[in-house]
Amino acid sequence: MTIASNVKQCMVTLKSAKETLSKLAQKSRDEQAKRTFHESMIEVEEIISDLQKRIGQLEFEEPQYKGN
Amino acid sequence: MLNWVEIVIRSFTFLIALFLLTKWLGKKQLAELSFFEYVTGITIGSIAAEVTMGLERHIMHGLIAMSIWTLFPIIMGLISLKNKKIRDFVEGKATIVIKDGKILEDNLKKERYTIDELLEQLRSKDVFQVSDVEFAVIEPNGDVSILLKKENRPLTAKDIQLNQPSVKEPQTVIMDGLILDEPLSTAGLNRGWLNEELEKLEVTVDNVFLGQIDSYGQLTVDLYDDKINVPSPKEKPLLLASLKKCQADLELFSIQTESEKAKQLYNKNSQKLNRLLSKLTPLLNDN
């Protein structure tokens, strides 16, 4: 196990969390809750893209683990 | 005409008349009957009974009397809707009996309420000590309404400054194994979604006695077959747990990494996630 694969795993978890948030945002009938879920989804998306950048760097540094 | 035929005809006539008149009197009835309305109600019934059995009386006379007894409360109701003074006169006013924790003996006397009756009413509201009460009134219908002193009131979310998300009413979408389309569309969902959710729970519509959707679009069902255990919705707790895990992961990464830039990136995102968590926790914690 390397850092890169750990970070990747974290990113995948966040991605599924993002999906759940978007589902909740669609299904919730309370406006306030809907908005909170939606905003959270966008923020999670930002974190994901940050992590993706970091994964790119890590794979560049340890190319042997690429794709794991 | 034979007497018994006459009685049959009269019975049906007055049954129908009574039914229509009470419909017309409206929903207000029973729940918040004022004494006047209560008495008129009884009188209307008595007239119907009297004329049904008293064959020497004319049907029309009975009907006329009943309509007047119905019409009058309705007109009074309409007038009192418009005018506060008449409303107070017709429906009565509430009388204050306890103020600032002190019993107002004069008002009690005015309502001909004995202290025993007041205590009894308070006890029926779970109040055994008069000093616990800040304010109490006798409502026009004879009930006593009380406001407890602040320290004796049940604790609410507002008292401990807990920010609780507002929740919409649940919608019943399955009843007796049949899908109800109207509440389903009120919840902004459709049959396709519902079938998918049922599949996830591994049940068929026929087996569902009652299915409800909460404010967050989660489906809970009660089955005909009570031996089958249906899992409770896990979507929200799972989401909360996975977000918490990611936050911890990011913190861990920031400690492990040697690159200063990466450290900052992890730190920033872990804090972001932390803020998110504090915002989402009240929504995701099952209430």
Three-state SS string over chain A comes to: CCHHHHHHHHHHHHHHHHHHHHHHHHHCCCHHHHHHHHHHHHHHHHHHHHHHHHHHHHHHHCHHHCCC
Band of residue A1 on the pLDDT scale cut at 50, 70, 90: low
Is the domain covering B95-152 a CATH 3.30.240.20 domain? yes
- Whether residue A68 is predicted with pLDDT greater than 60 in this model: the reply is no
**Which residues of B are less than 8 Å from A37 in CB distance?**
280, 283
Q: What's the average pLDDT block by block, 10 residues per block, for chain B (287 residues)?
A: 84 90 72 75 89 84 89 85 85 86 90 89 91 90 87 86 80 90 87 89 89 87 86 84 91 87 88 89 76
pLDDT of residue B286: 64
- Whether residue A65 is predicted with pLDDT greater than 90 in this model: the reply is no
Band of residue A49 on the pLDDT scale cut at 50, 70, 90: very high
**Which residues of A are less than 8 Å from B165 in CB distance?**
30, 32-33, 36
The answer to whether B277 faces chain A, any CB pair under 8 Å, is no
**Which residues of A are less than 8 Å from B267 in CB distance?**
none
Task: Give the whole-angstrom CA distance, residue A48 versus residue A62.
Answer: 21
B103 phi/psi in degrees, rounded to 5 = -75, 130
The answer to whether B168 faces chain A, any CB pair under 8 Å, is yes
Contact B246 A16 (CB under 8 A): no
Q: Into which CATH architecture does domain B171-232 fall?
A: 2-Layer Sandwich (3.30)
The closest of B170, B210, B171, B217 to B193, measured between CA atoms, is B217
Task: Give the whole-angstrom CA distance, residue B103 versus residue B158.
Answer: 30
**Tokens (6 digits) for B273:** 């996630």
The answer to whether B240 faces chain A, any CB pair under 8 Å, is no
Pseudo-torsion of CA B176, B181, B187, B189, nearest 10°? 110
Q: Decide if B95-152 and B171-232 have a common fold.
A: yes
Give first-to-last CA distance, chain B, whole Å. Answer: 69
pLDDT of residue B30: 61
The answer to whether B170 faces chain A, any CB pair under 8 Å, is no
**DSSP element (H, E) containing B5:** helix B3-25
Other Cβ atoms less than 10 A from the Cβ of A50: the count is 17
Contact B217 A28 (CB under 8 A): yes
**Tokens (6 digits) for A54:** 């970091």
Task: Give the whole-angstrom CA distance, residue A52 versus residue A54.
Answer: 5
Contacts of B31 (CB under 8 A, 6+ apart): none
pLDDT of residue A32: 86
**Which residues of B are less than 8 Å from A36 in CB distance?**
165, 279-280, 283
- CA distances in angstroms from B40 to B36, B46, B77, B86, listed in the order given: 6, 10, 13, 18
Strands B178-179 and B208-213: unpaired
Q: How far is CA B26 from the centre of its chain?
A: 20
Contact B167 A30 (CB under 8 A): yes
pLDDT of residue B123: 93
ipTM topping 0.90: no
**Which residues of A are less than 8 Å from B247 in CB distance?**
none
